[in-house]
Amino acid sequence: MSIASSLSVDKRDIVALEGVTKRFPGVVANDGVDLAIRPGEVHVLLGENGAGKSTLIGMLSGLQQPDEGRILVDGEPTAITSPRHALALGIGTVFQHMMLVPTLTVAENLLLGGPWWQRPKTEELEARVAEITRTLGITVRLHAKVSELSLGEQQQVEILRAMVRNTRLLILDESTSMLTPKGIEELGALMRRLVGQGLAIVFITHKLKEAAAFGDRISVLKLGRKVGEIPPERFRALGEQAIISEIVELMFGKRKDDPEAAERPVRVIHAEAAPLLQVHDLAVAPTDEAPCLSSISFDIRPGEIFGIAGIDGNGQKQLAEALAGQRATMGGSVRLEGAPIEALSVGERRERGLRYLTDDRLGEGTVGTFPVSINFFLKQVGAAPFWRKGVEQRAEIDKRAAQIVREYDVRTPSLKTPVARLSGGNIQKVLLARELAEGAKVVIFNKPTYGLDLANTLASRQRIRDTAARGLAVLLISTDLEELLSMCDRIAVISNGSLVGTVENADDARTKVGRLMIGLAA
């Protein structure tokens, strides 16, 4: 009850969240989130990937249950137990991934969910749809197969489906991510008409301009916590530029009591030293999930930590893989200590001292069912002294593995434990030990602290700093701006496959990088 008394429950709220916390193994997805959702308002949930937006939606739509806190519907504490229950409460969700059956027609998709013994009430539906589409000013081809519709049309069908079911609260999860600019504009206009009819809308996005353009109220999420809210009164009082700068402050601003805060030691990098890694005009073809990389150029000098910032999915992984030799390039050059390496294989690049720590620790970095000891030497399988004439030298491997376990403080029950049984932090230590082993000159870290707890995060960061201090060149790819600011000498921002700017990590770097990340000039 202490929660309820400390908050004012507003009678106008359709749905209110009070101190909602949701944990997944190793991650706190939502941490004590409060949220008030009112009719006639577009409530924007703004946050980067991993900020906990999708989990929040999962709880509102009945897919997941909160671990702590409660959800009030019309002022009554309610456990939303299933998607059906959410629909009955008037909560309709348009998910980020389309939730229509491609082989059925639009009408059939809208009819899904009726009692199974009934005949689909097609005539009733047609009348209802005609009425709704007229007031909203959209057209929908009811008898077309969903697979024939464009993504924008499919989204309108999903919104229409929510309306057919008498939805009072419409949740739009990253709905603009797959739309054309024109489609986004139309969606914005549609949202205005819907809230005009008294609907409540929760609009989830990581794009700041959309938040400022379409929202009435903005809540900013960061690493599962709600870090700020701009109520409608303030929203109207501020101009668009003022709102944007306020949000930038909320999203990228520094918290005072940050346990991760660390003073960045001033390192002296000899500007005249020859760069260890030189990347010039690198290009990579686009894939289904990533844009093409084009004209990527940067140098990293010995002892330098060069950061790559950006929203996830803008080509970071492709860049790392192209440098490591795991992905074909379409042009450009990569030089290690001045020698071109772009024609070399993965193994040859490693041999020359280029090391890559993947973010996919279990899928790509280790073989989960193999013991810890073997995982230390995965990239040396067959090589002396651990293998001789094709025969595994168990004693030699165990001796060296035991040494590494002590050195890197890997917490494992034994050397024979399958590596998948270790915690994320300890798997990361195995990877660190393997990639930083003798001969490393340039190390690429891709999201090295993603999904780790605080202690392991700090340990990994220290390990990276030490690496640079030994005179190695470090490329640090991260979506965590704090991390980059606390460690890097220079930070480049990647957006849609290009480096849109490089910033010296000085006092104003936070704002500059933040602005570059959301598509504004530094």
Partner 1 sequence: MTGLFSEVFLSALLFGAVTAAIPLLLAGLGEQMSEKAGVLNIGIEGMMLAGAYLGFVGAFYSGSLWLGFFTGAAGGIAVALVMALLCVRIGLNQIVIGIALTLGLEGLTALLHHFQFSRSYPRLPAVDVTVIPLLSDIPVIGPALFRQHLIVYLAIALVFAMGHIYRRTQLGLNLQAAGDKPAALDVAGIDVMRTRTIAVLTTGALAGLGGAFLANVGAGLFIPFITNGAGFLGIVLAMLARGRPVWVLFGALLFGVCLSLTTAMQVAGINIPTDIIQMLPFLAVMIMLVLFGRRASLPAALGIPYERGAR
Binding site for partner 1 (CB under 8 A): 58, 61, 63-64, 82-84, 87-88, 93, 95, 97, 99-104, 108-109, 111-120
Minimum CB separation of residue 495 from partner 1 in Å reads 25
Task: Closer to partner 1 by CB, 54 or 426: give it.
Answer: 54
Minimum CB separation of residue 480 from partner 1 in Å reads 23
Beta strands in 432-482 (DSSP E): 442-446, 473-477
Task: Closer to partner 1 by CB, 51 or 100: give it.
Answer: 100
Minimum CB separation of residue 4 from partner 1 in Å reads 29
Task: Closer to partner 1 by CB, 97 or 389: give it.
Answer: 97
* Helix, strand, coil percentages for the chain (3-state, nearest 5): 35, 25, 40
Whole-angstrom Cα distance, residue 272 to residue 269?
9
Minimum CB separation of residue 101 from partner 1 in Å reads 5
Backbone angles phi, psi at 300, to 5 degrees: -130, 130
Given the structure tokens 């060149």, which residue do they identify?
A: 473
Task: Closer to partner 1 by CB, 97 or 182: give it.
Answer: 97
Task: Closer to partner 1 by CB, 171 or 324: give it.
Answer: 171
Whole-angstrom Cα distance, residue 502 to residue 488?
12
291: which 2 tokens? 């844009």
Whole-angstrom Cα distance, residue 229 to residue 340?
51
Please enumerate in sequence order all residues whose Cβ is within 8 A of that of 295, keeping only pairs 6 or more positions apart, or say none.
281, 282, 283, 332, 498
Minimum CB separation of residue 115 from partner 1 in Å reads 7
Instruction: For the sheet with 293-300, list strands across it.
Output: 293-300, 277-284, 331-336, 339-340
Minimum CB separation of residue 103 from partner 1 in Å reads 5
Total count of residues recorded for the chain:
522
Task: Closer to partner 1 by CB, 163 or 477: give it.
Answer: 163
Given the structure tokens 């024939």, which residue do they identify?
A: 148
Please enumerate in sequence order all residues whose Cβ is within 8 A of that of 248, keeping only pairs 6 or more positions apart, or say none.
208, 511, 514, 515, 518
Task: Closer to partner 1 by CB, 64 or 467: give it.
Answer: 64
Minimum CB separation of residue 147 from partner 1 in Å reads 10
